[in-house]
Structure 1
Amino acid sequence: MHNKIQFAITISPTCSVSFISKAFGGRTSDKVITLRSGFLDLRVYDDRSQLSALKVEQSIRIARVRIHIERAIDIIKNLNILCSTMNLRIVPHSNNIMTICTALSNIHL
């Protein structure tokens, strides 16, 4: 039986990785990872209840760049460091390994 390790990442407008969360177990939901990753603590929230036309347009543009997010993730996966089965002794170091992989992916861009 194998277990997965998941991370939350964000990318900058230049498509480089700008945030990487700590590792979470594979059964952790995306919602829980997002809430516990610490990323939302870095965001500034607006108290308006409805999005302005400008914010709606920005949201649409952000949705269109999802391909860039997938590209950044693919670069990390193609390093072939994190795609194999990890020895249990290495799992505690997965945060550091992912940090190195994202740094390498940023250099690749």
Structure 2
Amino acid sequence: MFVSKLFGGRASDTFITRNSGLISHLIPGDQVLADRGFTITDVLPPGVTLAIPAFTRGCKELPEHEVTRTRRLANVRIHVERAIRRLKGFKILSNIIPGRIQHVDDIVTICAGLCNLQPQLIREEIEGKASDLDEDEHIDEQQEGDEYSWDMAEDIEGNHLF
């Protein structure tokens, strides 16, 4: 789990991505999972791609290959959301006491480190390529506290997602 220094509530996702230091950790073959309108392709290192779910662009339906790709990206996104949920589960993050505000970056970093020490979110037998999954197969939602945690998610081709 990548954790940068914290940014204020008015900072956009694009600004945070450009200024957080995340880009320097990306290597060729990595993909960055994002929503539509997330314009950072100009700052991605060579060989790093942006994975954005398809949208209809005025058409009634997506082509079948785009439906499949979007479904697989959604399956990967589940793991990202689980990791975020796990991080938010630390009570110390729900109420930062004003006297601790100067330590909030350290507190979040420690909580993220503790998340990384928990059992994996992604089951070993499916941890590799999401493209190995059949079209109709999906990863069932697990309840918080199950025996899974997040080390690093991978995209539909097995590349690291951050």
After TM superposition, the score normalised by the length of structure 2 is 0.44
Give, in angstroms, the shift of residue 23 of structure 1.
0.7
Structure 1, unmatched stretches of 5+, are: 1-16, 48-55
Work out which of the residue numbers 68, 93, 98 in structure 1 matches 2:103: 93
Higher relative contact order (CA 8 A, sep 6+): 1
Correspondent of 2:84 among 62, 69, 73: 73
CA distance in 2, matches of 1:43, 1:23: 20
Name the Cα RMSD after superposition.
Answer: 2.2
**3-state DSSP class of the match of 2:93?**
coil
Cα deviation code 1:17-68 (max 9, x no counterpart): 2x11111111111111111001112224227xxxxxxxx9xx8655531100
- The amino acid that maps onto 2:76 is V
1:105 is aligned to 2:105: no
Q: 1:46 aligns to what?
A: 46
Identity %: 41
Give 3-state SS (helix, strand or coil) of 2:110's partner.
Answer: helix
TM-score computed with the length of structure 1 as normaliser: 0.63
> Could you say which structure has the higher helix fraction?
1
Unaligned runs of 5+ in 2: 28-44, 48-65, 120-162
Q: Computing the radius of gyration over CA atoms, which structure comes out larger, 1 or 2?
A: 2
